[in-house]
């Protein structure tokens, strides 16, 4: 039910393509989300995830990430896992408080 979804804190999504699916609505559907794991997915931009106010952990390993543009929209992120991606410039992390 919608009430139960509002309490979900951890989710693993498989086969997601953020350029094709409305992932920016995650913040509305799962407002308490603290940990998100994307498996066998494509993360085109961190902006595609919307503004997940409580997201502390994001695992986007092997998700085709090439840059960190939009990472600032994840304001409280504490752990970011991006192994096996092609990120060359990490400057956006310097701006992330």
Q: Which residue has the tokens 């979900």?
A: 8
pLDDT at residue 90, rounded to an integer: 85
User: In b/e form, how buried is each residue of 35-74, taking b as 16+ CB within 10 angstroms?
Assistant: bbbbeebbbbbbbbbbebeebbebbbebbebebbeebbbb
Q: pLDDT tens-digit profile of 43-91?
A: 999 999 988 999 999 999 999 999 998 898 888 999 999 999 999 888 8
pLDDT at residue 83, rounded to an integer: 96
Q: Which two tokens stand for residue 77?
A: 């992120």
């Amino acid at each position: 039910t919608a009430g139960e979804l509002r309490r979900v804190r951890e989710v693993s999504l498989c086969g997601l393509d953020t350029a094709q699916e409305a992932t920016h609505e995650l913040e509305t559907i799962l407002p308490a989300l603290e940990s998100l794991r994307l498996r066998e997915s494509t993360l085109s931009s961190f902006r595609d995830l919307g503004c997940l106010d409580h997201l502390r952990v994001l695992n986007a390993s092997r998700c085709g990430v090439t840059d960190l543009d939009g990472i600032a929209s994840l304001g409280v992120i504490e752990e970011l896992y991006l192994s096996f991606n092609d990120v060359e410039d990490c400057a956006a992390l310097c701006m992330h408080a």
